[in-house]
């Protein structure tokens, strides 16, 4: 091989590299945009997860809008109180309080729920919900294909052996992405954001007639009102055939959990209903 040919090739590549570097340096200087130091401080205080739970495309976009005053310091729902406090300190704001929330499932059926047909297609709740409403006989039950778990940017949800999502209350930020992803969260409130102080929940959300509920799920609410009668503080009432808990009144005494003949009432920190936990 001709040494001069190799040398010429090396020189040409070196010249191209030097030219490209100079061109990039010139472009960087010419198109440089100064960033407001306050925006940088706000951005550093944000989680940087770019989860989109606040409705903005990125944390940097939030930083720009918060710094400009077009968004409040408690905009970052995923960051909670700690991030709000950090932003308030940067911006000189006081008295910011964030009500923390977690995602709660209102279904206890899972694999025990009756099916209308056998499904073997794409394992996506949103996809199968468009096919005759899904394979579950209960129109409000959890389909169990894990769209919520896959959508969670904080890995706060896993699918249990019973086909129901289990929310890690410590990891859940209350961002609401799983609620938006669930095809049955809107009309049936299958997944719902509730205050982090919530302690007792009803694992049923159907509004079907009681007879139809029994045929669909063995742990459905049957509107017997036993929970309502046993509650000393009137925190639980049956509304339109479904038990509803007023979390502001509930003392988590557990009387309704013990009295419920269907075991469809449970504590929020239990991945299943009372009967399953004690079994």
State the Cα–Cα distance between residues 52 and 156, nearest whole angstrom: 16
The predicted structure's pLDDT at residue 118:
86
Q: Of 192, 185, 201, nearest to 140 (Cα)?
A: 185
State the Cα–Cα distance between residues 145 and 22, nearest whole angstrom: 53
- Does the pLDDT at position 57 exceed 70? yes
**Summary mean pLDDT of the chain:** 88
The predicted structure's pLDDT at residue 134:
87
- Does the pLDDT at position 32 exceed 80? no
For residue 198, CA distances in Å to 92, 234, 246, 252 come to 32, 16, 10, 9
The predicted structure's pLDDT at residue 276:
37
The predicted structure's pLDDT at residue 270:
64
The strand pairing partners of 212, in sequence order, are: none
Q: What proportion of the chain, given as a percentage, has pLDDT over 70? A: 94
pLDDT band at 278 (very low <50, low <70, confident <90, very high): very low
CA 152 to chain CA centroid, nearest Å: 6
The predicted structure's pLDDT at residue 34:
58
The predicted structure's pLDDT at residue 35:
61
pLDDT band at 177 (very low <50, low <70, confident <90, very high): very high
Structural domains of the chain, with CATH: 37-91 (1.10.15.40), 101-278 (3.30.70.20)
Phi/psi for 146 (5° steps) reads: 80, 25
| Tens digits of residue pLDDT in 113-169 | 999 988 888 899 999 998 878 899 999 999 999 999 999 999 999 999 999 999 999
State the Cα–Cα distance between residues 22 and 26, nearest whole angstrom: 6
The predicted structure's pLDDT at residue 52:
83
Q: What is the dihedral of CA 233, 237, 243, 245, to 10 degrees?
A: -40
DSSP 240: T
For the chain, give the number of residues.
279
The predicted structure's pLDDT at residue 1:
63
State the Cα angle at 180 between 178 and 185, rounded to 5°.
90
Q: Are 218 and 253 within 8 A, CB to CB? A: no
- Reading the block at residue 63, the tokens are 């930083």
Interval 55-59 mean pLDDT: 88
Classify residue 243 by burial, with Cβ atoms within 10 Å: 0-12, 13-18, 19+: buried
pLDDT band at 277 (very low <50, low <70, confident <90, very high): very low
Interval 75-91 mean pLDDT: 89
The continuous run of DSSP H or E covering 43 comes out as helix 37-45
The predicted structure's pLDDT at residue 122:
87
Classify residue 184 by burial, with Cβ atoms within 10 Å: 0-12, 13-18, 19+: buried
How many Cα atoms sit within 13 Å of 272 on the Cβ side? 18
| Tens digits of residue pLDDT in 241-273 | 999 999 999 999 999 999 999 999 999 886 444
The strand pairing partners of 103, in sequence order, are: 193
The predicted structure's pLDDT at residue 39:
87
């Amino acid at each position: 091989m001709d040494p001069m040919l190799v040398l010429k090739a090396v020189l040409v590549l070196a010249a191209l590299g030097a030219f490209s570097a100079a061109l990039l340096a010139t472009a960087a200087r010419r198109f440089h945009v100064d960033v407001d130091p306050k925006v940088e401080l706000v951005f550093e205080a944000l989680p940087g997860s770019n989860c989109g739970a606040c409705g903005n495309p990125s944390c940097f976009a939030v930083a720009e809008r918060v710094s400009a005053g077009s968004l409040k310091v408690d905009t970052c729902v995923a960051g909670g109180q700690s991030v709000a406090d950090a932003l308030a300190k940067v911006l000189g704001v006081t008295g910011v309080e964030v009500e923390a929330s977690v995602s709660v499932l209102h279904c206890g059926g899972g694999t025990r729920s009756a099916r209308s047909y056998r499904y073997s297609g794409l394992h996506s709740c949103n996809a199968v919900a468009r096919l005759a409403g899904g394979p579950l006989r209960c129109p409000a039950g959890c389909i169990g294909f894990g769209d919520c778990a896959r959508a969670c940017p904080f890995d706060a949800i896993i699918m249990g052996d019973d086909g129901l999502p289990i929310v890690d209350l410590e990891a859940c930020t209350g961002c609401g992405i799983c609620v938006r992803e669930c095809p049955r969260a809107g009309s049936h409130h299958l997944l719902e954001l509730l205050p982090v102080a919530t302690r007792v929940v009803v694992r049923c959300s159907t509004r079907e007639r009681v007879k139809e509920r029994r045929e669909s799920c063995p742990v459905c609410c049957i509107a017997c009102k036993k929970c309502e009668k046993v509650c000393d503080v009137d925190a639980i009432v049956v509304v339109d055939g479904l038990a509803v808990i007023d979390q502001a009144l509930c003392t988590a005494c557990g009387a309704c959990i013990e009295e419920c003949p269907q075991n469809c009432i449970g504590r929020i920190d239990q991945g299943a209903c009372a009967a399953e936990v004690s079994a």
